[in-house]
Every structure is written in C-alpha cells, then in structure tokens.
Structure 1
C-alpha cells in the first residue's frame, strides 16, 4: 500500500512538472512573439522618425536661422536672434489702427493683419494675413539697417477667393 502511495505521488509530481514545462514553454513563445512584434514597431517608429526629421530639414531649408551666409550680414549688429527681431518688427506694423499698411487690400470682415511670418533669408519674408474670414499671402523685401531699423517693401501679394 505504501508503495502505491509513493507511485501515485511520483505520478502526480511528474504531471505537475510536465504541466509547468508545457505552460512555461508556451509563455516563453508568447513573450518571444511579443518581443518580435515590439521590435518591428520600434523599427517602424525609427523609420517614421527618420522621415519626419528629413521632412523637418526640408522645411527648414529656407530659413534665416539655417542660412550661415545670410546670417553673416548681421554679425556686426550683435543680434542674438535676428529672425525673431525681424518678425517682431513686422508684427509691430499690425499695431496701427485699421489694416496693416503692407496689405494692399481693404478688410471685408475686419482689418487685415499679418498672422504668420517666415523669414527666408537676409532679404525676403513670406507672410500670411487675414481678417478672420478672408486670407492671403505676401512676399516682402526687407532691409535691416545698422541702427536696427527695418524697412519693409511689398513685392507681391495674393488674396484667396472663397469658392461658394
């Protein structure tokens, strides 16, 4: 009788070990599959990050802060951030009552004001203007003088028409 108890105990222990071995194997396989999936996602994210970085570099190609030759024109002025200074001076033209003097249109729903500005180099700016309903774009030539004054001259403009 005692030997049968040991035999049953041994079989029961062997079944538990077999169960633990099989379930551990399954868990290991599942974790391996998860790991492979996560590695694939990481690779996809790295690829998309690289694409976004390339896109950002393309977008920043025409920017004063990335153009050393254009920035060389302002070395003698000791400006910390010439782009920000020029943008601020252009936005100051919005402070006048009525339409911005650089916008050659009369506001239809309000006054036309400059919203967004992109300083391309040491001579040109692209700007967006709007009155809240209608909008357009400007190309502006500017000159930053030694006394830190800025002269703006409208080169071209575009007012978008609304299609009904």
Structure 2
C-alpha cells in the first residue's frame, strides 16, 4: 500500500511537472511574440518621433529665436527674449478701443484683434486676426529701436471669406 501511495505521488508530481513545463513553454512563446511586437512598435514610434523632430525644426526655420544673424541686431539692447518683447508690444495694439489699428478691416461681429503672432526675423511678423467669426492674416514690418519702442508697418493683409 505504501508502495502504491509513493507511485501515485510520483505520477501526480510528474503530471504537475509536465503541465508546468508545457504551460511555461506556451507562456514563454507568447511573451516572446509580445516582445517582438512591442519592439516593432518602438521602432515605429522612434521613426514617428524623428519625423516630428524634423517637422518642428522645419517649422522653427523662420523664427527669430533660431536665427542668430537676426538676433545679433538686438545684442546691444540686452533683451533676454526679444521675440516675447516684440509680441507683447504688438499685442498692446489690441488694447485700443475698437478694431486693431494695424488691421485694415472693420470687424463684422465684434472688433478685429490680433490673436497669434510669428516673429520671423528682425524685420517681419506674420499674425492672424479675428473678430470671433471672421479671420485673416497680416504681414507686418517692424523696427525695434534703441529706446525699446517698436514701430509697426502693415505690409500686406488677407481676410478669408466664409463659404457655406
């Protein structure tokens, strides 16, 4: 009887070992497949990140912050962030009552105000404006003077038409 119990225990232990071996092997294959899939996704994401970096660099090409030659014009002014300073000065033109004086259109829904600004270099700005329903773009020439005043001159403008 004792012999049979040890035989049954041995067979039972062998079955558990066999089950563990088969299950472990199956889990290992599934994990390897998952790892390969994740490695492929990581490579895809690395490619996407690289494309996004190139796109950001391309977008920053026409930017005062990334133009050392243009920034050299402002070295003597000791401005830490000339782009921000110029943007703030341009946004101050929005504070006047009524339409922004640089926008050559009358607001239809409310007053036209400048929203987004891109300081391209030491002379030009591209900005968009809106009255809440209608919008457009303007190209502005500016001059930052030694006394830190800024003169803005409208070069060109565009008002988008609504199409239904």
Report the TM-score range of the alignment, normalised by the length of the smaller protein.
Answer: over 0.9
Match of 2:51 in 1: 51
Secondary structure of 1:19's partner? helix
Q: For residues 32-54 of structure 1, what are the alpha-carbon distances to aligned partners after superposition, in whole Å with 9 as ceiling and x for unaligned?
A: 11111111111111111111111
Secondary structure of 1:132's partner? coil
**Normalization by structure 2: what TM-score?**
0.97
User: Following TM superposition, by how much is the alpha carbon of 1:6 offset from its aligned partner in structure 2, in angstroms?
Assistant: 2.5
Distance 1:125 1:67 in 2: 14
The answer to which of 100-109 and 4-13 deviates more is 4-13
Q: Extract unaligned runs of 5+ from structure 1.
A: none
Q: Give matches, 1:95-110, under 5 Å.
A: 95-110=95-110
RMSD: 1.0
Secondary structure of 2:79's partner? coil
Distance 2:54 2:103 in 1: 34
Distance 1:120 1:61 in 2: 9
User: Following TM superposition, by how much is the alpha carbon of 1:3 offset from its aligned partner in structure 2, in angstroms?
Assistant: 2.8
Q: Which runs of 4+ in 1 moved over 4 A?
A: none
Q: Give matches, 1:122-161, under 5 Å.
A: 122-161=122-161
Distance 2:5 2:22 in 1: 26
Match of 2:39 in 1: 39
Q: Extract unaligned runs of 5+ from structure 2.
A: none
Q: For residues 99-143 of structure 1, what are the alpha-carbon distances to aligned partners after superposition, in whole Å with 9 as ceiling and x for unaligned?
A: 100000111111111000000000000000111111100000000
